[in-house]
Structure 1
Amino acid sequence: MTAVPTISSPAHLSSPDGKTAMTHTPLRIGLIGAGGISHSHLRHLLTLGADVYVYSEAGAAELVALYGGTVVDSLDELLAAVDFVDVATPTFTHHALVKRALEAGKHVISEKPLARTDAEVDELAGLADELGLMLFPAHVVRFFPEYVLLKEAVASGRLGDLAVLRFSRSGAFPTRTPWFADRALSGGIIMDQMIHDIDIARWVAGPVERVSAVSSHAGDATTPVEAAHVLLTHSSGAISHIAGIWGPSHLPFTTEYSVTGTEGSLAHSSVAERNYISHLASTDAPSGLLPEVDPAENPYFAELREFTDAFGGGAAPRVSAAEGAEAVRLANAALLSLETGQPVDIESPSAQATGK
């Protein structure tokens, strides 16, 4: 891993000669949640030199025992102890927790999706703007080098005018946590998993004016399988096709894309050199809940470093609250298309958040 700076915030102290001196203190960050993704958040925040306070209705003590940090007994206690909040809890809890943190005057990081409904996400983005607070959605795929390369290739014009974008993402159905299977709570595979590629497609190809989607289900409650396809029509005329699969527990986490423009194409496949078929009957493969990452530059670490740099007065991160809100709106449009069987037109695509 590259050299790790200690993220800090400035504080004014009086020097012995009576003059004001500048010093730095570690960021005080409150982590809400102790589930699977919280392990990644806590480890990286501590590596970045933050003082981390952890609150969760269950599991906080065990999480802190593994990595460090300080357990607090209530949300009120956490908010009183910190300047910044990191929400890593189930999707359906994001709105209430992020709103509470913003109203307490705290800058916030929130796991994706920023909220479950359009109304909720619009309220959060508007509240952060009104209060002059930072709100960063954890769209970590923007930090994976394969997708950074895609963004740079498109922005530089090397691919020309984009025509067709194809994205796919597969992994194990998250059966250990029942709320994932409840579309009302999680938004299902589209809101939880495919929102990553929905965000990337809009990031590189621009505003979207129409969304359509189909899905299928197989298996049973013990071994469920869900697949979905989302089609985005961009204002530029480009078309993005996004496929997602939640499969059996031994299904490895995989990602692919193929993007073609008038001047060239760019492709990525995490399974290019794997015998993918062999995994279909094997229960010995690694868990397919999260992707493999390069330990030399972990995207989850890079994401939190960029967010906390901004907290310390650095540059704005590559993803904004407005873009997180737009990803939620597009995912919900896809869910509406599933329900109605019809395409969904997106109002005022020119007013959508601009990609960076």
Structure 2
Amino acid sequence: MDDTPRVGIVGAGGIAPPHIEGWLALGAEVGILRRTGSDALAARYGLRIHATLADLIQDSGIVDIVSPTRTHVGIARAAFSAGRHVVCEKPLAATADDAQALADEATAAGVRLFPAHVVRYFSGYRSVHERIGAVGTITELTARRTVAAPAPAWFYSQDAGGGIIRDLMIHDLDQALWLAGPVVEVSATQDPPAEDGFVQPPVSAHVTLTHAGGAISHVRADWAEPGTPFRSTLEVTGDRGELSVDTSASDAEDESPASAPDPYREQLADFLDAIRTGREARVTPADGVAAVVLVDAAYASLASGHPVVI
């Protein structure tokens, strides 16, 4: 029996190539939905092109959603209805209610939903997670993520699935949950604030999380000037020691060293093995929902000017 994965990619933006390359490295047959930019990707990677979403879903066993956040729910629901597994770029949805609905609908349909929180597969972050017991009781976590502001306009509409907290900071909100556990209070600031729901870069956001176990996480994200190199850092402090990550000296998202495994391929390999074996992947639907819950709370804090209790 041929068990070659058949994957349909929906989306042709900057995150599409790492997903496509990861699937191809795993031996998958990959198709892509026709939209702006898809023809160039199809020619570059030798992909099948599908004129409609229905055709792509029919021809695929796994639908990989790398399109703008506001489109995630409709595409995932169409895939679930056809009995297809779904890989979905973070965030799962623009709101926690929609993210939870997707998780519930995947379960009801008997298919798998995999939130693509790729930072969990970066070797430095994974190493911190594996060694977290060495710091003892976690007291403080400090994370910062800086990158040149993206080009597409939808990223700047907080009401249409964009926003720096929802798109960029969510990586480190997920890390805070993974390392320090559930959160009971969220407080957020952003400079400059959004005007009429739109963010104007350069922009920075800072979110403080109070964890149920007593730890405090300070998380900052920056959309900076064009040409700014990507960098993310993480420091975890406990009563017995510290652990840290700095991607300027390790596996940065846009250029992993040859000695490090490609995190996108590792992520997709984990998802594929989870489908084949029935086990849980490193990132679960509940993890994807929990991250969006923090995003919602952060924006509620921005709107009210006060901390939000989870």
Alignment equivalent of 2:280, drawn from 316, 324, 344: 316
Per the alignment, residue 294 of structure 1 pairs with 257
Per the alignment, residue 130 of structure 2 pairs with 152
Verify: 1:171 aligned to 2:147, yes or no.
yes
Per the alignment, residue 334 of structure 1 pairs with 298
Q: Deviations over 1:232-285 (max 9, x none)?
A: 000000000001111101111001111110111112223469xxxxxxxxxxxx
Per the alignment, residue 234 of structure 2 pairs with 257
Secondary structure at 1:116 match in 2: coil
Alignment equivalent of 2:155, drawn from 174, 180, 187: 180
Per the alignment, residue 75 of structure 2 pairs with 97
User: Which structure 2 residues correspond to residues 1-356 of structure 1 after superposition, within 5 A?
Assistant: 23-154=1-132, 157-174=133-150, 176-217=151-192, 224-271=201-248, 290-296=253-259, 297-313=261-277, 315-346=279-310
Secondary structure at 2:266 match in 1: helix
Contact 1:193-1:244 at 8 Å conserved across structures: yes
Paired residues in the alignment total 305
Q: CA deviation at 1:290?
A: 5.0
Secondary structure at 1:245 match in 2: strand
Per the alignment, residue 354 of structure 1 pairs with none
Q: Deviations over 1:18-68 (max 9, x none)?
A: xxxxx3331111111111111111121111111112113222221110012
- Report which stretch shifted further, 110-119 or 294-303: 294-303
Distance 1:269 1:59 in 2: 33
What TM-score results when the alignment is normalised by the length of structure 2?
0.93
Per the alignment, residue 14 of structure 1 pairs with none
Greater Cα radius of gyration, structure 1 or 2: 1
Q: Deviations over 1:284-325 (max 9, x none)?
A: xxxxx9543234411111111111222233642100011101
Q: Deviations over 1:66-116 (max 9, x none)?
A: 012211111111111111110110111111111111111111000000000
Amino acid at match of 1:228: A
Structure 1 residues without counterparts, runs of 5 or longer: 1-22, 274-288, 347-356
Amino acid at match of 2:41: L
What TM-score results when the alignment is normalised by the length of structure 1?
0.82
- Report which stretch shifted further, 293-302 or 227-236: 293-302
Distance verdict in 2 for CA 1:290–1:263, change over 3 Å:
closer
Contact 1:46-1:69 at 8 Å conserved across structures: no
Distance 1:307 1:35 in 2: 22
Distance 1:151 1:56 in 2: 39
Amino acid at match of 1:313: T
- Report which stretch shifted further, 48-57 or 142-151: 48-57
Amino acid at match of 2:302: L
Distance 2:253 2:5 in 1: 28
Distance 1:295 1:95 in 2: 36
Contact 1:205-1:234 at 8 Å conserved across structures: yes
Distance 1:177 1:56 in 2: 18
Q: CA deviation at 1:128?
A: 0.9
Contact 1:171-1:290 at 8 Å conserved across structures: no
Distance 1:61 1:169 in 2: 32
Distance 2:66 2:156 in 1: 18
Per the alignment, residue 6 of structure 1 pairs with none
Identity, in percent, stands at 41
Contact 2:154-2:162 at 8 Å conserved across structures: no
Root-mean-square deviation (CA, aligned residues, Å) is: 2.0
